[in-house]
Amino acid sequence: MTDAATVSTHVLDTGTGHPAGGVDVELSVHDGAVGRWSVLAAGRTDADGRCAAFPPLSPRTDRVRLRFDVAAYRSGPVADGEGAGPAFFPEVAVTFAVAPGEHHHVPLLLSPFGYSVYRGS
């Protein structure tokens, strides 16, 4: 096992019953030694709603923030070919603690007027 923690995410649209492809995701890290946030990487969910290509984290990283651009996703085409309409939550930001050497998979479940996150496997 390496000392570097890793992060991945998966976005599912429970309103349509499909993976949420095309959601922009920004990964920011908090350096516990310095005490500040910085953007490490950005990605976009694939057709299966997954964003797994984030780089390993520095061993000094103690917290991570994933920011999901829900507004752009909701205004784009959905399964029936029309936009889903304006997002009640235009952005979802999730901050969580990380442990060295562990993989942290954090799925986001979207619905028109709510969302849920959890630590997956």
Confidence at residue 92, expressed as pLDDT on a 0 to 100 scale:
97
Give me the residue spans of the domains in the chain. 6-117
Band of the pLDDT at 81, cuts 50, 70, 90?
Answer: very low
Signed CA dihedral, 15, 16, 18, 24: sign only: negative
pLDDT confidence band for 84 (50 / 70 / 90):
low
- Assign a CATH topology to domain 6-117: Immunoglobulin-like (2.60.40)
pTM for this one?
A: 0.87
Average pLDDT, the chain: 88
3-state class of 23 per DSSP? coil
- Residue that wins the pLDDT comparison between 1 and 86: 86
What single DSSP character describes residue 100? T
Binned at pLDDT 50, 70 and 90, residue 16 comes out as confident
Give the 3-state secondary structure of 36-77.
EEEEEEEEECCCCCEECCCCCCCCCEEEEEEEEEHHHHHHCE
Average pLDDT score over residue span 54-61: 92
Structure tokens at 1: 């096992």
Instruction: Please count the other Cβ atoms lying within 10 Å of the Cβ belonging to residue 13.
Output: 23
